[in-house]
Amino acid sequence: MIAVVQRVSSASVTIDGRIKGEIQNGFMVLVGITHLDTQEDIEWLGRKITGLRVFNDQEGKMNLDLNAVNGDILLISQFTLHASTKKGNRPSFIEAAKPDIAVPLYEKMIQFLEKETNKPIQCGEFGADMKVALLNDGPVTIIIDSKNRI
């Protein structure tokens, strides 16, 4: 499971002209799921995301986590994070999980993050054509891969 975590001042996702999810201060997270991902990946990645100390403290140092700043999460599924570009110019998405595997894991990630943050998680819609807007704060962008823990 791969996550691209961006610290944002605001972010939203629009589907068919309607805002589906919207946050102010917090993280906009793109998550890519593979057929090898499990509940263990969800929990490890979820704790990494919520524990990231990338928000400024009183001295302006990145030292605070999401809960310390009462931040929110906008979670967007994005299978293209598992694109392979090794051969040719057309990406292969063979490592991305099919919907029958990915949707339940995505929903479990939402539930896990809600438990960790004690807040509702804003999200997109799996498989939908989404328009994502964000104001990256910093900019701060962190990539986390649950298969690369060491």
Which one from 38, 80, 85, 141 is the annotated catalytic residue? Answer: 80
Contacts for 18 with CB less than 8 Å, ≥ 6 apart: none
What is the distance between the alpha carbons of residues 69 and 8, in angstroms, rounded to a whole number? 12
Q: Long-range CB contacts (< 8 A, 24+ apart) of 126-130?
A: 126/77, 126/99, 126/102, 127/77, 127/99, 128/15, 129/15, 130/13, 130/14, 130/15, 130/20, 130/76
Answer yes or no: 117 catalytic. Answer: no
Residues involved in catalysis: 80
